[in-house]
């Protein structure tokens, strides 16, 4: 029964200005929320991501007569136990390898300096002293060791900072609690947001939301599988060829693979640099390089087509730009929000492009069937 006794035709209609004002108000409120509360939103955004990823598994458990609350609790506890098991198994090895890195930095610096010196000496022998003089050789040898020392210190600080981040009380306690409540109430939250959609555009907004969900879920779950497989492959491969820090470098390269090309390029550069300092011959360096070449072949022809394929309409350049833009705007919180925002922007852009291609702005014919050529001044 209608709550408003007036006929439908007599109800006031929203004007175009009111619709634009509503859209601008919502976007402004979201922007101000991110600006004002960016420092405390990280555990809540992480909890939203966990609930989004675990929701399909929770729905499967509810279909076999397990209550939604119990299924949510089981999944969150399982995720916590998996994280603890990962830390207990790999934390001692990672800490030992970090200690090995810190202890061997002088040796690595000396080895890399000697390697650079030999390269310069060979160039000087082949090209002559006029092109490569002794000062350049000394400068390159010294800077190679200093560069490795700087990179090792930066990597140690980065690992220590990341570990400290995950030791923050909010990420250890608040995130699982919020994730449990969000996962338990996920259908109600979606239904509540759906009830707020303007009736005039409800069908269009629902269709675009389903498209965003399709692309985002395919990217998140497929990318997670790809990162885990690549991290395992690089860690085992680099350890098998004898690289002393192969486990840490391999895991880092695999987990950074969610940024296209960044993980593999970073891992290859760091691994080859460490191999040049560790191995006295080219054979060890070639084995390390072969691990990353094989990883790239598997990534491009086996892993990505299997887990991502054509379901993800997120170009690599767009993902890289979104991640860097989000990080520059909101730090780590912006990195976590970058892919959802990129997926949403891509869906909306394609939607408006389709509308433009069907609109008079694109389809209107030219003013004349055979326009006269533009007059050109005579030479």
Computed over its alpha carbons, how large is the radius of gyration of the chain?
A: 28
pLDDT value, residue 161? 46
What is the model's pTM? 0.68
d(CA 274, CA 285): 9
The 10s digit of each residue's pLDDT in 117-154 is 666 666 666 665 555 555 455 545 555 555 555 555 55
pLDDT value, residue 261? 73
Residue among 76, 41, 81, 80 nearest 55 (CA): 76
Average model confidence (pLDDT) across the chain: 78
Number of domains in the chain: 1
Does residue 142 lie within any of the structural domains?
Answer: no
Does residue 277 lie within any of the structural domains?
Answer: yes
Residue among 50, 39, 87, 30 nearest 332 (CA): 39
The 10s digit of each residue's pLDDT in 236-260 is 999 888 887 788 888 888 888 877 7
Does residue 282 lie within any of the structural domains?
Answer: yes
Percent of the chain with pLDDT over 70: 71
pLDDT value, residue 55? 92
Does residue 297 lie within any of the structural domains?
Answer: yes
Does residue 155 lie within any of the structural domains?
Answer: no
Does residue 39 lie within any of the structural domains?
Answer: no
Does residue 238 lie within any of the structural domains?
Answer: yes
pLDDT value, residue 163? 42
The 10s digit of each residue's pLDDT in 42-71 is 888 889 989 998 999 999 999 998 999 999
The 10s digit of each residue's pLDDT in 314-366 is 777 888 888 888 888 887 788 878 888 888 888 888 899 998 898 888 888 87
d(CA 7, CA 147): 77
Does residue 344 lie within any of the structural domains?
Answer: yes
- Tell me which residue range forms the domain holding 344: 203-358
More reliable by pLDDT, 104 or 87: 87
């Amino acid at each position: 029964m209608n709550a408003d006794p007036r006929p439908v035709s007599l109800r006031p209609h929203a004007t175009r200005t009111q619709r634009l004002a509503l859209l601008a108000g919502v976007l402004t409120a979201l922007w101000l929320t991110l600006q004002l509360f960016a420092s405390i939103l990280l555990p809540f955004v992480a909890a939203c991501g966990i609930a989004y990823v675990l929701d399909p598994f929770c729905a499967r458990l509810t279909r076999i007569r397990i209550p939604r609350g119990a299924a949510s609790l089981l999944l969150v506890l399982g995720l916590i136990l998996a994280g603890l098991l990962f830390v207990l198994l790999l934390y001692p090895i990672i800490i030992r390898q970090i200690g090995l890195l810190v202890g061997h930095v002088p040796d690595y610096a000396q080895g890399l300096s000697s390697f650079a010196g030999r390269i310069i000496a060979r160039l000087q022998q082949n090209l002559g002293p006029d092109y490569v003089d002794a000062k350049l050789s000394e400068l390159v040898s010294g800077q190679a060791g200093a560069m490795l020392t700087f990179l090792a210190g930066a990597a140690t600080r980065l690992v220590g900072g990341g570990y400290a981040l995950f030791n923050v009380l909010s990420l250890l306690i608040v995130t699982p609690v919020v994730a449990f409540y969000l996962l338990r109430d996920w259908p109600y939250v979606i239904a509540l947001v759906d009830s707020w959609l303007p009736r005039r555009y409800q069908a269009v907004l629902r269709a675009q939301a389903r498209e965003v969900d399709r692309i985002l879920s395919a990217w998140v779950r497929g990318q997670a599988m790809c990162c885990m497989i690549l991290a395992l492959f690089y860690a085992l491969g680099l350890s098998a060829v004898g690289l002393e820090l192969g486990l840490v470098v391999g895991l880092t390269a695999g987990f950074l693979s969610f940024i296209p090309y960044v993980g593999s390029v970073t891992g290859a550069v760091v691994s080859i640099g460490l191999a040049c300092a560790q191995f006295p011959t080219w054979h060890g360096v070639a084995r390390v390089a072969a691990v990353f070449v094989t990883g790239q072949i598997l990534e491009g022809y086996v892993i990505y087509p299997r887990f991502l394929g054509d379901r993800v309409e997120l170009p690599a350049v767009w993902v890289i730009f979104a991640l860097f833009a989000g990080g520059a705007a909101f730090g780590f919180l912006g990195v976590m929000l970058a892919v959802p925002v990129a997926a949403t922007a891509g869906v909306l852009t394609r939607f408006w492009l389709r509308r433009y291609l069907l609109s008079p702005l694109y389809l209107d014919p030219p003013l004349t069937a055979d326009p006269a050529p533009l007059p050109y001044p005579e030479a």
